[in-house]
Amino acid sequence: MQKRRLGRSHLEVSAIGLGCMGMSFGYGPAKDRQEMIALIRAAVERGVTFFDTAQVYGPFTNEELVGEALAPFRGQVVIATKFGFDFDDAGRQREGLNSRPAYIRKMTEGSLQRLQVEAIDLYYQHRVDPAVPIEEVAGTVKELIREGKVRHFGLSEAGAQTIRRAHAVQPVTALQSEYSLWWREPEAVLLPTLEELGIGFVPFSPLGRGFLTGQVDERTTFESGDFRNTVPRFSSENRKANQPLVDLLAAIAERKRATAAQIALAWLLARKPWIVPIPGTTRLTRLEENLGAAALELSTEDLEGIERAAAGITVHGERYSESSQRMVDR
C-alpha cells in the first residue's frame, strides 16, 4: 500500500484509509463485533494504517470496537476520532453540539480509554459549534497536544474562514468533509485553501454512500435505521436521475478492467497527492476492491474524459436532511 502525507504535516498514512462508522452506526443494525474486529485487522494486514471513528458513532461503541481491533498494532497505525456532539451523563446523545473547552477535555478522556491509547493520533472537531469560538476549540486542542493526549488537530465539515481562524491558533493537519464525483463543492474554495495552508484532505463518503459503486439503484431498499432513508439524494426518483454518473464510472471501469468503485477512488487520489479517502465497508471483498484503487492509474486522457462527461451530468438531491445540513459550517 502506498503512503501519503497529510498536507505539510509529518502525519503519514496509507493512501486509502478505512472508515469504520458503518460497522456499528448509521447503516442499519450494528454488525457482528467479532467479524468487524477481524475485518479491521484484515485491513492492517493489507497495508491500511489509517482508521476513522468518532464518539457519536454508537455512541461510543465504534470507538470501543476500533480500540479493541487495533490494540495489537499500537505504533503501527493512525487512529482518527472526533469530538463535538453533546451527551448526557448516561452517554445518550442530546440534540445539538458541544465544543466547550471543559467538555472537550472530559470527552477526550473517554476516547483515550475506549481507543486504548495514550494519545489520539488525529482529533477532529466533528462539526463546528457556533456557540463556541473556533479559537477556543483550537486552543483547547493545542493544550491537549502539549499535554501529550493528542498528536494532530483536525476539522470536519468546516468552512474556509473557520479553517483559517483555527489554523492560526493550532495548525490543522487535516480537514474531513464529503468529496466525490457526485459532491464536488469542496473544489471551489476548500481545496485551494487547504493547498495554501498545507492541510491534508480526508474525503468521507468517497463512494457516495455506496451509490457510486453501482450496487444501489432506484429499486434498492434500505434497512430500518439506515440514515440514507432520510437523505434527499437517496429518494427513489433522485437515484434514478443520478444513474448517469454511475453509468459513466461503469463505462470507464470496463475499459480499465476495474470496478466503478475503484474508478471513483482513483479519481480522488489523482486530484491531489495530499488527499486520502476513507471508504467504509463491512465486507472483506469490498475492502479488497477499494484498496485495489490505490494501484489503479488514470491517465491524463482518462481524467479529461471523466471531466468532459461529468460536466454534462446534473446531480439531483441534497446530500443531507434539513436538520443535518444546519450543522455544516459554510
Domain boundaries, the chain: 3-210+272-296
SS3 label, residue 38:
helix
Instruction: Tell me what pLDDT residue 323 has.
Output: 76
Superfamily assignment of 3-210+272-296 in CATH?
Answer: NADP-dependent oxidoreductase domain (3.20.20.100)
> Cα angle vertex 268, ends 264, 271, to 5°?
140
Q: How many residues make up the chain in this entry?
A: 330
User: Cα 181 vs. chain centroid, distance in angstroms?
Assistant: 15
In the predicted structure, residue 322 carries a pLDDT above the cut 80: no
Active site residue 320: no
SS3 label, residue 241:
helix
Residue 126: how many other CB atoms lie within 10 Å: 22
Measured distance CA(87)–CA(116) in Å, rounded: 21
Beta strand pairing status for 18-19 and 12-14? unpaired
109-146 pLDDT, tens digit per residue, is 999 999 999 999 999 999 999 999 999 999 999 999 99
Of 57, 103, 124, 179, which is the active-site residue? 57
Residue linked to cell 453533546: 86
SS3 label, residue 6:
coil
In the predicted structure, residue 317 carries a pLDDT above the cut 80: yes
Residue 65 C-alpha cell reads as 470496537
Instruction: Tell me what pLDDT residue 68 has.
Output: 98
Contact 79, 120 (CB under 8 A): yes
Q: What is the DSSP letter of 198?
A: T
22-42 pLDDT, tens digit per residue, is 999 999 999 999 999 999 999
Measured distance CA(147)–CA(214) in Å, rounded: 46
User: Cα 193 vs. chain centroid, distance in angstroms?
Assistant: 19
Where are the strands (E) in the chain, listed by range? 3-5, 12-14, 18-19, 50-52, 78-83, 85-87, 93-97, 120-125, 150-156, 172-178, 200-204
Q: What are phi and psi of 323, to 5 degrees?
A: -65, -40
According to DSSP, the residues that pair with 177 across neighbouring strands are 203
For 33-42, 60-69, 76-85, 312-321, which range has the lowest pLDDT when averaged over its residues?
312-321
Query: pTM for the complete prediction?
Result: 0.97
Q: Over pLDDT 90: what percentage of the chain?
A: 96
Rounded (to 5) percent helix, strand, coil in the chain: 45, 15, 35
Contact 85, 157 (CB under 8 A): no
218-273 pLDDT, tens digit per residue, is 999 999 999 999 999 999 999 999 999 999 999 999 999 999 999 999 999 999 99
Measured distance CA(290)–CA(258) in Å, rounded: 10
Residue 290 C-alpha cell reads as 477499494
Task: For the chain, report the end-to-end CA distance as a whole number of angstroms.
Answer: 34
180-193 pLDDT, tens digit per residue, is 999 999 999 999 99
> Cα angle vertex 292, ends 287, 183, to 5°?
80
